[in-house]
Each structure stands twice: as C-alpha cells, then as structure tokens.
C-alpha cells in the first residue's frame, strides 16, 4: 500500500512539473533577418529533440538592439554583427559579450532578364553602370543593417560607390533589400549569400560571391539576456553544437574554428 501510494505521489508530482513546464511561455528569440531560414530550421529540430518551442522574431539587428534596450522581453539575440550585442552587454542586459555563431558573406545578385551580369570582381556592375543600364540598385540600409554597411564598403573597394549611390533603393533590412533586388524593383543588388541560396530567391536570379577581403568581417554574434530561461539556455547551447553548425554552413555561413 505504501509503495503504491509513493508511486502515485511521484507520478502526480511529475505530472505537475510537466504541466508547469508546458505553461511556461516559449522563449522569445530576436533573429537577424539574414539568418531567418537557418534559425527556423534549427528551431524546428530543437523542438523535435527537446519539446521546447520558440517564438522567433526576425528583423534588423540595430532595431532589435534598440527594442531590447527599451525593455523588449527577448531572451536570446542573434545579431548580424557584433556591435549590437556589445551594446547590450555594456548596458548590463546580456549575461556576457556572447559568442560568434556564424560569419556571413555578401553576393551580387541580379534577377533573370537584368542587364547586370554578376561576377565576383563586380566588372559586370561596372559595365552596366557605364552603359546607363542600372536605374536602381538595392542594398540594406547601412544606418541600421550590418549587411548594408558591408555592402557600402565592398562598393567603395571596387571604386563604384559614387556611381551606385544615386541609384540606391534601401531595404529596412537585408531581406527587404533582397526582395527589391529580386522582384523587379531594381536591376540587382548586394544581399546575403544565405538569402541568395534560399529556394525562392535562387529561382529568381543569379549571384556571385563578393571577396570577403573587400569589406570588414560579417561576424554574427549572439548572446543570452539576463532574463533567459533554461529553455533559452538550452537553445543557445544547441546553436553551438556540430549538428547546428552544419545547418548554418549549408545555409551559406562559415563557422569560426571549423576551417570553412
């Protein structure tokens, strides 16, 4: 009788713990727009393995940092750069200065039918500009988007910034810039390799990877906020695991220390 009662008590306690865990809201994760597709895939795998769901929000890294500074309840921040994570750490909102989870790359993208022919040296862009064939050219807004800042640097390195500048259409984030570059709103643009590899964009046009030496590194850093729950901590660790890193590499990122 006592053993049966003990088993019933343990079962009831386990059920209550499970119910309490299920009642906890899913951790909110702020994700830079360029890494959206990879993180959505990783979040689905994480849920299958652990049972923990996540609330994923995607957008501009600069705007997310500002929102967190103003009290937005994100538990993990996956930025497209390092500076925005450091801002939060310096403000005492992050547990530490985080870690680099991926390094991004830029590409020159042109939709099918565009007079712009993508190539790594941007010779096709130079020729199209000289011929007056580029009316609009898309990048992310460099005021708020790291990929926009690096695009400006790459264009300046190629000696094309002054010619391109009057023709710019700027997306609020890199995903909007990719939409402009691929949907006929512009003859092309500089976007993230991760987005150019996504099936929807890949079928709309062509791309060429811009040399990494032409701009500052796109070190993408993440950090846990001080309010992070155990589920958020588990996802943060999961993102640093070899299976998660392999997914990021497949989406066009290199991983520090993996020799890629």
DSSP conformation letters of 190-250: EEEHHHHTSHHHHTTEEEEEPPGGGS--EEEEEEEBTT--HHHHHHHHHTTSHHHHHHHHH
Q: What is the pLDDT of residues 169-214, one digit of tens each?
A: 999 889 999 999 999 889 999 999 999 999 999 999 999 999 999 9
Q: How far is CA 193 from CA 18, 181, 201, 218, in A?
A: 41, 13, 10, 12
Q: Is 82 a domain residue? A: yes
- In this structure, the answer to whether residues 70 and 129 fall within a common structural domain is no
pLDDT grade for 29, boundaries at 50, 70 and 90: very high
Do 8 and 97 fall into the same domain?
Answer: yes
Residue 145 to residue 173: CA distance in whole angstroms: 6
Residue 167 phi, psi (nearest 5): -105, 5
Global pTM reads: 0.83
pLDDT at 7: 45
- What angle do the packed helices 61-69 and 83-90 form, to 10 degrees? 10
Considering only CA atoms, give the Rg of the chain: 22
Average pLDDT over residues 80-98: 97
Number of separate domains in the chain: 2
Between strands 137-140 and 188-192, the pairing is parallel
Q: Is 17 a member of any domain?
A: yes
Query: Looking at the structure, do residues 91 and 114 belong to the same domain, yes or no?
Result: no
Do 63 and 94 lie in one domain? The reply is yes
pLDDT of residue 258: 61
E strand or H helix at 189: strand 188-192
CATH number, domain of 243, equals 3.40.190.10
Regarding whether 14 and 99 lie in a shared domain, the answer is: yes
pLDDT at 24: 64
Closest CA to 74 of 233, 238, 224: 224
> What is the rounded average pLDDT for all residues in the chain?
90
Q: Are residues 96 and 160 in the same domain?
A: no
Whole-number Cα distances in Å, 160 to 48, 145, 157, 205:
47, 20, 8, 22
In this structure, are 111 and 50 located in the same domain? no
Query: Between residues 162 and 145, which one has the greater pLDDT?
Result: 162
Q: Summarize the confidence of residues 113-138 as an average pLDDT.
A: 98
The per-type count for the chain, helices as H runs and strands as E runs, is 12, 10
pLDDT at 62: 87
237 and 202, same structural domain? no
Examine the domain organization and report whether 86 and 34 are in the same domain. Answer: yes
Query: Domain check: are 225 and 189 in the same one?
Result: no
Is 257 inside a domain boundary? Answer: no
Residue 256 counted as domain residue:
no
Do 235 and 158 belong to one domain?
no
259 within domain boundaries: no
Which pLDDT score is estimated for 184? Answer: 84
**Domain identity same for 113 and 147:** yes
**Model confidence over 202-243: pLDDT tens digits?**
999 999 999 999 999 999 999 999 999 999 999 999 999 999
Residue 92, domain member (yes or no): yes
pLDDT at 47 over 70: yes
- Residue 82 confidence class, pLDDT cut points 50, 70, 90: very high
In a domain, 260, yes or no: no
pLDDT for residue 139 is more than 80: yes
Question: Beta strands of 33-167 (E only): which ranges?
Answer: 55-59, 76-78, 99-104, 106-111, 137-140
In terms of residue numbers, what domain contains 176? Answer: 106-209
Residue 214 lies in a domain: no
Distance from C-alpha of 198 to C-alpha of 188, rounded to nearest angstrom: 16
């Amino acid at each position: 009788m006592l053993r049966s009662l003990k088993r019933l008590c343990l079962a009831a306690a386990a059920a209550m713990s499970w119910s309490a865990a299920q009642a906890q809201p899913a951790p909110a994760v702020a994700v830079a727009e360029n890494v959206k597709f990879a993180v959505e895939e990783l979040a689905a795998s994480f849920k299958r393995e652990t049972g923990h769901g996540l609330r994923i929000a995607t957008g501009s890294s600069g705007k997310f940092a500002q929102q967190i500074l103003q009290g937005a309840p994100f538990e993990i921040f996956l930025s497209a750069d390092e500076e925005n994570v450091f801002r939060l750490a310096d403000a005492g909102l992050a547990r530490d200065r985080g870690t680099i989870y991926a390094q991004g790359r830029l590409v020159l993208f042109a939709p099918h039918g565009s007079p712009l022919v993508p190539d790594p040296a941007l010779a096709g862009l130079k020729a199209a500009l000289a011929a007056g064939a580029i009316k609009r050219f898309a990048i992310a807004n460099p005021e708020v988007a790291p990929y926009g800042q690096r695009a400006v640097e790459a264009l300046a390195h190629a000696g094309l910034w002054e010619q391109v500048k009057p023709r710019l259409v700027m997306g609020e984030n890199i995903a909007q810039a990719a939409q402009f570059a691929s949907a006929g709103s512009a003859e092309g643009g500089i976007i993230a390799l991760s987005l150019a590899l996504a099936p929807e964009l890949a079928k709309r046009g062509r791309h060429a990877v811009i040399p990494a030496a032409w701009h500052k590194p796109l070190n993408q850093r993440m950090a846990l906020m001080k309010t992070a729950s155990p589920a958020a901590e588990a996802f943060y660790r999961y993102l640093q695991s070899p299976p998660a890193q392999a997914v990021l590499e497949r989406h066009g990122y290199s991983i520090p220390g993996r020799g890629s």
